[in-house]
Amino acid sequence: MIRLLGISGSLRAGSFNTALLRAAARDLPDGVALEVATLHGIPLYDGDAEAASGIPGAVEALKAKLRAADGVLLATPEYNNGIPGVFKNAIDWLSRPASEIPQLFGDRPFAVIGASPGGFGTILAQDAWWPVLRTLRARVWFGGRLMVSRAGGAFDAEGGLVDDKVAGQLCDFVAGFAAFARGDA
């Protein structure tokens, strides 16, 4: 069984990116499991707070999920042509203390997808993730790209994926990434 962790980079209750991960979790290849996580409860990174109180509980909980995953799927929104601050903040917390970077990120398979109400999907946010993941020594899958543009039309009011073309692309992407995480690709 390949265990994937999908992390949504949006806090919004009606997040297209959380909905994208939930859709992926509902239609998985055999032998693949996907747990969806959000960033709720993770405070702004503050080195003084870290020194005084250690790593916050919400960060430790996400670290535990990361450690248990065979691969990580980041579902990123795009804010002002880049990575959302809350998402980058969470990754910054996950990289603390720096001595844990090799066990959390080092050679762990990562992939990036995203959904946006705009016409260009999340291409710039996805591109902005590459140097971050390279710095953390993650093993990034470049075997596919999934950028859902005009996401308001791809999902219904309850967050269900209603665009069959996107659903097919999502299934293909997750299957390819799972094979990469398994070492088949």
pLDDT single digits (tens) 98-145:
999 999 999 999 999 999 999 989 999 999 999 999 999 999 999 989
Q: In what helix (H) or strand (E) does residue 102 lie, and over which residues does it extend?
A: helix 101-104
Quote the CA–CA distance of 77 and 180 in Å, as a whole number: 23
Q: How far is CA 122 from CA 84, 88, 97, 127, 149, in A?
A: 11, 15, 30, 9, 7
Q: Which two tokens stand for residue 159?
A: 């967050």
Average pLDDT over residues 68-96: 97
pLDDT band for 47, please (50, 70, 90 cuts). very high
Number of domains in the chain: 1
CATH (domain of 109) = 3.40.50.360
pLDDT at 72: 98
Does residue 36 contact residue 25 with C-beta atoms inside 8 Å? yes
pLDDT at residue 185 tops 80: no
pLDDT at residue 181 tops 90: yes
- Dihedral angle of Cα 43, 45, 47, 48, to the nearest 10 degrees: -30
Quote the CA–CA distance of 165 and 146 in Å, as a whole number: 11
Q: What pLDDT, in 10s, does the model give residues 154-164?
A: 999 999 999 99
- β-bridge partners, 33: 3
pLDDT at 176: 97
Mean pLDDT of the chain: 97
Residue 79 sits in which domain range? 2-182
